[in-house]
Structures are given as C-alpha cells and as structure tokens.
Structure 1
Amino acid sequence: MSTHLITGAGSGIGAAVARRLAERGDDLVLLARDAGRARELAALYPGARTLVGDLSNPERLSWAFAQQTMPDRLDSLLHIAGVVELGPVGELTPKAWRIQLDANLVAPAEVTRLVLPQLRVAQGHVVFVNSGAGLSASPGWSAYAASKHGLKALADSLRQEEHAAGVRVTTVYPGRTASPMQEKVHRQEGKEYDPARWIDPESVATTLLMALDLPRDAEVNDLTVRPGR
C-alpha cells in the first residue's frame, strides 16, 4: 500500500486522481487550505488524512506543517492544485503576478522541500501537473505561463538533483481539461464553456497513474496530453 500527498484533490484532475487511488486501497494525505476545507475533503474521502497549508502563502507552509503530524514516508507527491488569472501584460498588476507565481510555483517548490526526506525514504515520485502553457505562452496568458514555465524548470532541476536518491520526477502537460478551472478560464476569455469539447479529468488521471505505476527500471520525465476531439 502506497501513501500519496495530493494538492488540489477537491475538484477536476485532483479529484479524479484521489478517487482512483482511494479505490485501489492506497493511503491519501490531502492538502487543504484551511480547517474548513480539510473537513470537506475528509468527508469526500473517508479514511484519508488531511494536512492544512495555504498554497497562496508559501512562507507559512513550513510553520503550518511543523504544527501537524507528517507521514513517515511518502511514495508520491502529486502537485495538482493551481490558479489562473488571465490578462494582457499591460493590465496585469503585481498582485495578479504574485498570486499565480506563489500558488503555481513557489508553493510547490516549498511543499517539495518540506517533504523531500519522506520521499527519499520511500524512493518516491514527484508529479507536477503543469499545462500546455508551461511549454508555450499565448496572448493574455503571460503570468500563468510564466509560473508554469518556472514549474517545468523546478521539475527538471529536481529530477537531476534527486536521481541518486532514487526519487523520480514527472511533469504532465494537459491541454484544456473539463474542470472548474477551465470554466473560469472561459469566463475570463468571454467564451461559452462546453465541457464536452475538452479532456475528461479521468483521462488525465489515467496518465498520472501510468507514470506512478511504471516499474522502477523506467521513468516518465515529460508527458503531454491533448484533447482528442
């Protein structure tokens, strides 16, 4: 039985991954932004443990984790949470940049740093759910894409740094996926949202589980998933 720490388990891709792992009997540790959200996640996934830490305030994560009981080992750390605020460079404020850089880049780096000892014990696996915006930036996507380009750099460096410790690192780049975040993106773009046009979160979850379950003689470094319609 494996133990997985998951961010973003409340909806979309994170919910699909958490459900699939729970169904096969793995242990879940679910990161929640506050105590109220922790209770909601505990109700959604009976038997799962929760860990409270606000990804929008990465400077406080070390203190928050120190106040709670951490797992002794982790077989995987799944970074799935993220935020998006679209806008042209000429209109984006420093606050909009910081919100996305903190939640999408600085917080994943800090969570990884804080649980690396447990990942090394288990020779575990770190999975970063990135985005197509982590490979190419489009108009209006500068801040979000910058955070995701940075996340790619984080994963690439971590992979080389932790190879000798047996820690595997995978980045998954999903295209547009039917999720609450995608619905928000469509509102910001002023477009009608039709979830049938985009990737089912279950399909992305399948790719994540494939990477996790790969035998130890191989490692998926980067995996791109695009809508098939």
Structure 2
Amino acid sequence: MATHVITGAGSGIGAALAQRLHARGDDLVLLARDAGRAKELAARFPGARTLVGDLSDPDKLSWAFSHQTLPDRVDSLIHSAGVIDLGPVGELTPKTWRHQLNVNLIAPAELTRHFLPQLRVTQGQLIFINSGSGLRARGDWSAYAASKHGLRALADALREEEQGSGVRVTSVYPGRTASAMQAKVHQQEGKEYEPGRWIDPDTVATTVLTALDLPRDAEINDLSVRPLAH
C-alpha cells in the first residue's frame, strides 16, 4: 500500500487527487496550514494522517516538523497547493511577490528537501502541479507565472539530480480548472465565472494517477492538460 504526502488537499486538484487515492485504499498524509484545517481534512478523509505546516512561511516548516512525527515511508510527494494574485508589474508589492513565491516555489523546495530521503528509499515519485503559466507568462500574471516558471526549473533540476536514485519527477501543467482559485481569478479579471467551461479537477487527477501508476521502466516528465474549446 502506497503512502502519499499531499499539499492542497482541501480543494481543487489536490482534493480530487486525495479522494481518488483514498478511495483505492492508499495511505494519505495531508499537509494543513493550521490545526483547524488539519481537523477538517482528517474528518473528510477518514484514516488519513495530517501534518501542520504553513507554506506561506517556509522558513518555519523545519521547526514545525521537528514537533511532529513524519511518516517513515513515502511513495509520492504531491505538490498541489498554490496561491495567485494578479496585477500589473507596476502595481505588485514585494509582499504580493513573496507570498506567491513562498507558497508556489520555496515551500515545495523545502518540502522536497525533507521528504527526499524517504522517496529515495522507496524509489518514489514527486508530482509538481504546475500551470499553463509555468510555460507562458501573460500580462497581469507576472508574479504567479514567475513562481510557476521557477517550479518548472526546480522539477527539471531535481529530475537530473535524482537520475541515479530511481526517484521519478513529473510536472503537470493544467489549463484553467474549475476550482475556488479559478473563481478568484475570474473575479480579479472582472469576468463571469462559468465552471462548466473549464477542466474538472478530477480530470487532472486522472492524468496524475496515470503518471503515478506508470510501470517502473519509464517516467512521464511533463504533462499538459487543456480544456476543450467551447
């Protein structure tokens, strides 16, 4: 039975992934930003373990984990949490930049550092839920796109570093996905949000499961998933 550490399991793609893995009987270790959120996740996914750590403050993750029991076995680490705040470069503050870089890039790097020893033992897998913005930056998306371009670089470098360990590294680049984050994006863009126009989070979860369940003689490096045109 595989053990998966998942961030962002409270909503969107992370929640869909957690639900699919939980339904098939895999063990889940879900990262929550605080004790209240951990309690909610534990109730939503019976039998799952939780860890508390605030991704917006990656400097304190090591301290937080030192006061908790980390799983002995980890078969996959799935980075699904993310934040977004749109705005032109001329108006974005350092606080806005730091928040997105901390959650979307630096925290995944720090979590990877913590769990890489376990992943090497199991010859496990890292999944980085990136974004189409990790491949192309558009106006008003600079801070978010920069964090996701950085996440792509992190995954690419890690894949090369771990070639000899058997650890697989996959980046997934979903297009617009129906989620609370997408509702926020539409609000910031001043557009009406129509969830039916965008990818269902469970569809992205299906692509991630394809990468996770791939036979051990290969790895999927990059997966792009785009909504069908309506």
TM-score in terms of structure 1 length: 0.99
Amino acid at match of 2:180: P
Structure 1 residue 114: Cα displacement: 0.7
Q: Which residue of 1 aligns with 2:30?
A: 30
Amino acid at match of 1:172: V
Q: Which residue of 2 aligns with 1:42?
A: 42
In structure 1, what is the Cα distance between the partners aligned to 2:17 and 2:139? 31
Amino acid at match of 2:143: A
Q: Which residue of 2 aligns with 1:150?
A: 150
Give the 3-state SS of the residue equivalent to 2:99 in structure 1: helix
Structure 1 residue 132: Cα displacement: 0.3
In structure 2, what is the Cα distance between the partners aligned to 1:144 and 1:45? 30
In structure 1, what is the Cα distance between the partners aligned to 2:80 and 2:137? 20
Q: Which residue of 2 aligns with 1:77?
A: 77
Between the two proteins, the alignment pairs up a number of residues equal to: 229
Matches within 5 A, 1:196-207: 196-207=196-207
Amino acid at match of 2:103: A
1:134 aligns with 2:152: no
Amino acid at match of 1:5: V
Amino acid at match of 2:109: A
Q: Which residue of 1 aligns with 2:60?
A: 60
Matches within 5 A, 1:1-229: 1-229=1-229
In structure 1, what is the Cα distance between the partners aligned to 2:202 and 2:52? 26
Give the 3-state SS of the residue equivalent to 1:188 in structure 2: helix
In structure 1, what is the Cα distance between the partners aligned to 2:122 and 2:65? 19
Structure 1 residue 163: Cα displacement: 1.4
Structure 1 residue 228: Cα displacement: 1.3
Give the 3-state SS of the residue equivalent to 1:55 in structure 2: coil
Amino acid at match of 1:87: G
In structure 1, what is the Cα distance between the partners aligned to 2:77 and 2:168? 10
Residues 33-88 of structure 1 show CA distances to partners (whole Å, capped at 9, x for unaligned) of: 00000000000000000000000000000111111111112100000000000000
Give the 3-state SS of the residue equivalent to 1:31 in structure 2: strand
In structure 2, what is the Cα distance between the partners aligned to 1:193 and 1:150? 28
Instruction: Structure 1 unaligned segments of length 5 or more: list them.
Output: none
Structure 1 residue 166: Cα displacement: 0.7
Residues 179-201 of structure 1 show CA distances to partners (whole Å, capped at 9, x for unaligned) of: 00000000000000000000000
Give the 3-state SS of the residue equivalent to 2:138 in structure 1: coil
Amino acid at match of 2:120: R
In structure 1, what is the Cα distance between the partners aligned to 2:11 and 2:63? 26
Using the aligned pairs only, state the percent identity. 75
Instruction: Structure 2 unaligned segments of length 5 or more: list them.
Output: none
Amino acid at match of 1:28: L
